Amino acid sequence: MDKRPIGVFDSGLGGLSVIKELNRVLPEENIVYFGDTGRVPYGTKSAETIVKYTRQDERFLLSHDVKLIIAACGTVSSVAGFTADELPVPFIEVVTPAAKAAVKATKNGRIGVLGTAATVNSNSYKNKMLEIDPNLTVVQNACPVFVQLVESGWIDRDDEVTIAAAKRYLQPLIKHKVDTVILGCTHFPAIKDIIADIMGEGVTLINSGEQAALAAAEYLNTNGLLGEGGRRRYFVSDRAESFASIAGILLGTEIEDDVEMVAIESFGG
């Protein structure tokens, strides 16, 4: 048994979709989560800034002696995934597992990708899927407002504002008749029911957070690194109170532990 925790980080609340899936597939693992709520969103930042933030987030998790780091952020995975080469522990990003799942799921070879502007502009999901099957048609659309809507807790299935935004963002995917959609930002599963309603029956949604959690479970099991304890610790860079309240909605259960503040800038430049 390796009782060291899994480290998970995201620009804000979205990475809790990974925690939710880890709770399901690896309930006995200890987990340390960092949400950079003071600097969310990452998707509108420059590549240089995203890389800087990513390294700080990773250093914070390493200070907790984690055995594995999950970048629960499509933007980080797309723009700063190369920082994995600098780490002393294994690193799992959300792009590769989700891309593989989408290629496996599609029946008509038309796949949609929803993500932040940085993720879409990087073409990370698109390039990864075309490596697997060059004949695919990949339709991408940046959905930056989704992040703010989720962070604000506007995730009810009948929320008129979120529905209106989703209808606008999803039009290109509907026009190209995709049958599979990657939720390429870990915030987006929080509004998956709205997206599913608009896309209609017969369209498969790929939850990038779920795929990352499954990849983590496979890695730990294969390499004899499974642990025990089941402790969860949550850290944020701002707004601890609002994090706790919205996190309960996203996780489907209330956070019983205290949410601690971190001066993330102190973890390097």
Cα 4 from chain centroid? 22
Contact 143, 113 (CB under 8 A): no
- Burial-class residue 160 by CB neighbours within 10 Å (0-12, 13-18, 19+): exposed
Query: What is the bridge-based pairing of β-strands 91-93 and 68-71?
Result: parallel
Mean pLDDT of 197-225: 96
- Residues recognised as catalytic: 73, 185
Domain 6-93+210-266 shares a fold with domain 95-208: yes
Q: Is the pLDDT reported for residue 107 higher than 90?
A: yes
Supply the pLDDT for residue 151: 82
Above 70 in pLDDT, residue 31? Answer: yes
Confidence of residue 12 (pLDDT cuts 50, 70, 90): confident
Q: Compute the Cα dihedral for 177, 179, 184, 189 and give only its sign.
A: positive
CATH for the 6-93+210-266 domain, from 3.40.50.720, 3.40.50.1860, 3.20.20.70, 3.40.47.10: 3.40.50.1860
Task: Judge whether 79 and 51 are in contact, CB under 8 Å.
Answer: yes
Tell me the CATH class for 95-208.
alpha beta
Residue 152: pLDDT band (50, 70, 90) is: confident
- Residue 269 confidence class, pLDDT cut points 50, 70, 90: low
User: Considering the chain, what percentage of its residues have pLDDT values greater than 90?
Assistant: 84
pLDDT value of residue 210: 94
pLDDT for 56-82, tens place per residue?
A: 999 999 999 999 999 999 899 999 999
Q: Please state the length of the chain.
A: 269
How many angstroms separate the Cα of 77 from the Cα of each of 2, 81, 119, 179?
26, 5, 8, 24
Which helix (H) or strand (E) covers residue 18, if one does? helix 16-25
Domain parsing of the chain, residue ranges = 6-93+210-266, 95-208
Give all strands (DSSP E) within 124-248, no chain letters.
137-142, 180-183, 204-207, 232-236
Task: Say what the pLDDT of residue 242 is.
Answer: 75
Calculate mean pLDDT across residues 240-263: 81
Position 249 scores a pLDDT of: 75
pLDDT score of 154: 93
